């Protein structure tokens, strides 16, 4: 139970930067919140996978662990996807690394780093718990 709570709190903390404005910044470009990362289908499915993987009991624990891992990795994928595509419909009409870098605020990079740290934390905690379980 302690592991579930720690993972859930860490996951929620990793989502907090998404409440900051992460995109925009040029004249005529509206600032867009990082919630765009979370509210796209990849982000929503990732949150569900994480919750199911961590909180639902499975006969094989590895199945739940893998679902939770997919959820944490999915958030990173969601952020990267939005980084490359959010401006296509609004501003440029094309996928462009230059535009993605130009229109992303520092908050985006902060959120991405925190999400990657969450993935690392998830694997560290699940490995530590499984190692402890095996040794007991």
Say if residue 8's pLDDT is above 50: yes
Asked, for residue 47, whether it belongs to a domain, the answer is: yes
pLDDT at 69: 94
Q: Is residue 106 part of a domain?
A: yes
Q: What is the pLDDT of residue 17?
A: 93
Residue 133: inside a domain: no
Residue 132: inside a domain:
no
pTM: 0.84
Reported as a single tens digit per residue, the pLDDT across 72-100 is 999 999 999 989 888 776 566 777 788 88
pLDDT in tens, 23-69: 887 666 778 888 988 899 999 999 999 999 999 988 888 899 999 99
Residue with the larger pLDDT of the pair 109 and 23: 109
Query: Residue 46's closest CA among 73, 23, 25?
Result: 73
Q: What is the pLDDT of residue 37?
A: 87
Structural domains in the chain (count): 1
Q: Residue 36 belongs to what domain range?
A: 2-127
Tell me if 116 is assigned to some domain. Answer: yes
Rounded-to-integer distance, Cα 71 and Cα 48, Å: 7
- Look up residue 57 and give its two tokens: 């009991």
Q: By the 8 A CB rule, do 95 and 80 touch?
A: no
* Tokens encoding 13: 């903390």
């Amino acid at each position: 139970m302690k592991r579930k709570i720690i993972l859930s709190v860490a996951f929620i903390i990793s989502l907090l930067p998404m409440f900051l404005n992460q995109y925009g910044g040029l004249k005529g470009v509206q600032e867009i919140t990082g919630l765009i990362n979370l509210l796209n289908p990849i982000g929503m499915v990732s949150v569900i996978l994480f919750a199911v993987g961590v909180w639902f009991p499975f006969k094989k624990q590895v199945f739940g662990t893998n679902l939770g891992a997919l959820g944490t990795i999915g958030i990173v994928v969601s952020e990267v996807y939005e980084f490359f595509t959010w401006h296509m419909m609004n501003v440029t009409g094309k996928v462009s690394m230059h535009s993605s870098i130009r229109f992303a605020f520092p908050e985006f990079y902060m959120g991405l780093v925190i999400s990657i740290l969450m993935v690392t934390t998830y694997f560290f905690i699940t490995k530590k718990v499984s190692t402890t379980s095996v040794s007991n």
